[in-house]
A and B are shown apart, each in its own frame.
Chain A
């Protein structure tokens, strides 16, 4: 049927997007000039000869197109080169830091999704009531509160004033005392995950409540009630699934941007993840890390968009393929 062709077409388009981003990224980096020159410019005692040697060492002396294809071919084999600053393979670093990032981002989205479904159902089925008003107000406030400001508030309250939760890092020396890295790790996750949950819940709730309110006034909901289905079936079986369709786009973006928004979260909580790594890489001009991580983030985003499109086809039979 058309489904397979549709997915194939989206796949090809996604590949083109990633290729496009890689070309632009490469061009941008090269337009700025020889990274070796820029890196070594601020140091004393560097002669042109040394610059040429280092340039040749990193394979930066060929033509631009040659270097692009070498780089592209390496990336396809998941070889992102070696970090200039840390002198480690970038792919290994991305993996190690990536695990830490996903550790707070994925619970941050999933918990928020569950809470948003609950809260928005509660509000939308009692439209214009006090509960509804409270939910909208709370969600609007949470949605407008910048993530990092929320993080600051959480740290002030729970770390400095109450002193019950750690404000930075993923592990501490306490883990030795507590005799469990698992509990210690979870302990450190509370605040960063909490911040993500508050923000994501607020935004998802706003979206889902208005979508649900819209669906609940549709004829087919009245028709389902008029057919004698109990309220629980009408709301959860008929309304929620329809209301979820517009939310899906945002959920896709949320998963796709997981890594892109990480720098802020991870700076606030000094979390050893990809976001923090990226900030350091930019500050210290660690080119292989910058390029590798940008490509990984782009692939994540494109994949999330692709999965969203496919999910649409599965959840909504009306989508015309083509």
Chain B
């Protein structure tokens, strides 16, 4: 609209065949993004993969052919058996049905991913939001704090803490908490992965607090609470959603690696555990390692593609 000719039909209404009807109200940012996202093939593929994993996690008690803790194949001498009609993906060296364990693993994986990112998002948005909105010394201090968490070698710290925590709880009431190791891993992942979210939240809050619509809201007397929750946060969400989607995939991968190295929850039915128990037998029973590996791959790929598609949908600038 840099031309000196602005469409203003009200001034010369008779001129030509001017369209006088007002264009319909443009759709909001979420709907617009959804229109764009729908046309992104990679993003839709990601959404489908994630949807598939969610569906499996929800339906696993109904579709899994065996109980995940059913080791009866061992008694029948059918452990470490290749794929058959009864055991579509074979059995592992403990006599578990690989397919059932992989299906049940989906819900564990999603629990880890979503649980860890919920913790990380809350911490990240609160710290980043305060830093970005308050600015000054508060900002400086909080961001140095976040930077500290960026240089902590997260992965090996988690390994050490899970192991040592396992020793400490022996003999306390905590020992009776079900899936304690898994909870520990989820909490630790959440506690160590908030820094990128805080950085993004800070940048967005800083950008938005000077946006014209926020200044307008201030002018009409909105309270600070209203401004933060109704004007700034919703507009900061798109960038954060992308990070959270990526983070879920990352957290699932991290839990798998922790379990694969033998520091996971021995009682949990997780893909990493399956790999840990069967990796030694890779040569004789490769299916028991390949199936959970492929499941992790599909899930992580799904979340990565989803995050990619969301980035494109929220940034139309980059579109063709």
**A294/B304 in contact, CB under 8 A:** no
**B304/A144 in contact, CB under 8 A:** yes
Residues on B with C-beta less than 8 A from A152 are 279, 282, 289-290, 293
Give 1 or 0 for each of B142-157: 1 = CB within 8 Å of chain A CB: 0010011011111111
Please judge, given known A-B contacts A32-B167, A128-B320, whether A260 and B155 are in contact too, CB under 8 Å: yes
Residues on A with C-beta less than 8 A from B150 are 305
**A264/B151 in contact, CB under 8 A:** no
**A149/B293 in contact, CB under 8 A:** yes
A28–B168 CA distance with the chains assembled, in angstroms: 12
- Chain A CB within 8 A of B245 CB: no
| CB contact list, A250-264 vs B, under 8 A | 256-257, 259-261, 263-264
A148–B293 CA distance with the chains assembled, in angstroms: 8
Q: Which residue of A lies closest to B311 (CB)?
A: A210
- Chain B CB within 8 A of A298 CB: yes
A302–B301 CA distance with the chains assembled, in angstroms: 30
**B293/A298 in contact, CB under 8 A:** no
Give 1 or 0 for each of A262-299: 1 = CB within 8 Å of chain B CB: 01100110000000001100110100001001100110
Give 1 or 0 for each of A170-183: 1 = CB within 8 Å of chain B CB: 00000000000000
Nearest Cβ on chain A to B137's Cβ, whole angstroms: 16
**A148/B167 in contact, CB under 8 A:** no
Please judge, given known A-B contacts A257-B153, A263-B159, A302-B151, whether A140 and B305 are in contact too, CB under 8 Å: yes
**B301/A38 in contact, CB under 8 A:** no
Residues on A with C-beta less than 8 A from B286 are 156, 160
Main secondary structure on A side of the interface with B: helix
Residues on A with C-beta less than 8 A from B262 are 279, 283
Residues on B with C-beta less than 8 A from A148 are 257, 260, 275, 293
**A140/B301 in contact, CB under 8 A:** yes
Give 1 or 0 for each of B296-320: 1 = CB within 8 Å of chain A CB: 1100110011001000000000101
Nearest Cβ on chain A to B172's Cβ, whole angstroms: 12
**A294/B151 in contact, CB under 8 A:** no
Nearest Cβ on chain A to B197's Cβ, whole angstroms: 17
- Chain B CB within 8 A of A122 CB: no
Residues on A with C-beta less than 8 A from B294 are 149
**A260/B159 in contact, CB under 8 A:** no
**A298/B296 in contact, CB under 8 A:** no
Q: How many A-B residue pairs have CB under 8 A?
A: 111
- Chain B CB within 8 A of A143 CB: yes
Give 1 or 0 for each of B251-269: 1 = CB within 8 Å of chain A CB: 0010011001111000000
Give 1 or 0 for each of A142-163: 1 = CB within 8 Å of chain B CB: 0111101100110110001000
Residues on B with C-beta less than 8 A from A140 are 42, 301, 304-305, 308
Nearest Cβ on chain B to A237's Cβ, whole angstroms: 24
**A298/B279 in contact, CB under 8 A:** no
**B160/A290 in contact, CB under 8 A:** yes
- Chain A CB within 8 A of B161 CB: yes
Please judge, given known A-B contacts A148-B275, A267-B261, A294-B153, whether A32 and B168 are in contact too, CB under 8 Å: yes
Residues on A with C-beta less than 8 A from B289 are 152
- Chain B CB within 8 A of A17 CB: yes
**B148/A146 in contact, CB under 8 A:** no
**A146/B308 in contact, CB under 8 A:** no
- Chain A CB within 8 A of B5 CB: no
Q: Which residue of B lies closest to A303 (CB)?
A: B151
Residues on B with C-beta less than 8 A from A138 are none
**A264/B305 in contact, CB under 8 A:** no
**Known contacts A144-B305, A146-B300; 18 further A-B pairs (Cβ under 8 A):** A21-B151, A21-B152, A29-B164, A141-B301, A146-B296, A149-B296, A149-B297, A152-B290, A256-B151, A260-B153, A260-B155, A293-B156, A294-B157, A297-B153, A298-B153, A301-B151, A301-B153, A305-B150
Name 20 A/B residue pairs within 8 A (Cβ), A-sorted. A29-B164, A140-B301, A140-B305, A140-B308, A141-B301, A146-B293, A146-B296, A148-B293, A152-B289, A155-B282, A160-B282, A160-B283, A260-B155, A263-B156, A263-B261, A264-B257, A264-B260, A267-B260, A283-B163, A285-B163
Residue ranges of B at the interface with A (Cβ–Cβ < 8 Å):
42, 144, 147-148, 150-157, 159-161, 163-164, 167-168, 249, 253, 256-257, 260-263, 275, 279, 282-283, 286, 289-290, 293-294, 296-297, 300-301, 304-305, 308, 318, 320
